[in-house]
Amino acid sequence: MPGTTLPSIPHYVPAPPTAENLEWADLPIIDISQANTPEGRAELAPKVRDAMRTQGFLYVVNHGYDQAKNERIFDIADLPFAQVPEDEKRLFAGNIKQTGSYRGYKLRRYWHIENGVHDQLEHYNLHRAITGDQKHPKALQPVLPEIRAFAEHNHFSVLHPLLRLLARGMELPEDTFVNIHGFDTKGETYVRFMKYYPRSEEEESKTKNVWLKGHTDFGTITILWSQPVSALQILSPDGKWKWIRHIPNALVVNAGDAMEFLSGGFYKATIHRVVQPPADQRGYTRVGAFYFAMTDDDVKLVPFAESPVFERVDIVRKCDDADAPTMEQWRKGRTSAYGQSELKRKDEVVEEEVINGVVVKHYN
């Protein structure tokens, strides 16, 4: 970043971590700094492979940002919501359903949750290039270089090492996945800042305390910067919803649909949801910082069938290779439909919709 003095912005004060005894998911912690050497990658690859084959989630630590940089990112993450007037937000609202892109704002009450209740969260999405053809609100202008640096850090210091480890886990050349995740190529990998607002008791009752239904992410890898408000749950292999514990300055990483497609089901896109926080954190807002990774737009989402692992396990395809969508088709279909389409109830827990010929499940 140019210069030594950062622009002065308001400090976001998050909620204290919960003191409640919740049923936490037992996720492995990966020291990504070890991925800098061949020996370190050889040690980490089986751990990452096993995590993404079973739970689909893991923690990353020692990623290169210290606590001060972490706090600065959350100060920046709150700017699009706390420092941008409502009329200006509407000027930068994305045309999500028509474009299949999340660029710009998703304003509150866009997604239908349940029983006539709509969401109470906002998010602002920036294409990873940050200063390309996307325009941004006035409050963000002074910190755009920092957001660009944040995007590059996620992409090259976290995403690429993880992709190399995932390729090793499938006994493929290390750069197999890296080569289809360009930073300057045509694609929609983006930075997201998000803010959840408390809901009324009536809304909680009508939705059974669920803020976002159980779903999978549609990209390859999601990087969530851990924050103190406990609300994220994953559907664990034993069929129970378990909470994601906050670890200061750690990253919560999960695989999405595109990685499951590319790996022939070897890696799992795990169902996760957002629920009402525990009692000692209610009344607080919940600010999040994310990096949603996708392959280049033109990549066809078919398995890397040449992987030697498929001599030992079966390839699982969600559709015939000839019918498989490209990354662009899949993310546009999922983005346009989410929270807007009518879901078909399969049973008391599962609802379904069909995107590009593939069945997508949502869990209550």
- If 0-12 CB within 10 Å is exposed, 13-18 middle and 19+ buried, where does residue 6 land? middle
DSSP 8-state class, residue 237: T
Instruction: Determine the average pLDDT of the residues in 184-204.
Output: 94
Dihedral sign for Cα 157, 160, 163, 164, please: negative
Q: At residue 67, does pLDDT exceed 60? A: yes
Tell me the per-residue pLDDT of 340-350, one tens digit each, with 9 for 90 and over.
545 455 545 55
CB 17 within 8 A of CB 278: no
Say what percent of the chain tops pLDDT 90.
78
Q: Which residues pair with 214 in a beta bridge?
A: 363
Q: Does domain 29-363 bear CATH number 2.60.120.330?
A: yes
Q: How confident is the model at residue 160 (pLDDT cuts 50, 70, 90)?
A: very high
Q: Quick check: helix, strand or coil at residue 70?
A: helix
Domain map of the chain by residue range?
A: 29-363
Instruction: Determine the average pLDDT of the residues in 20-45.
Output: 96
So what's the pLDDT on residue 131? Answer: 78
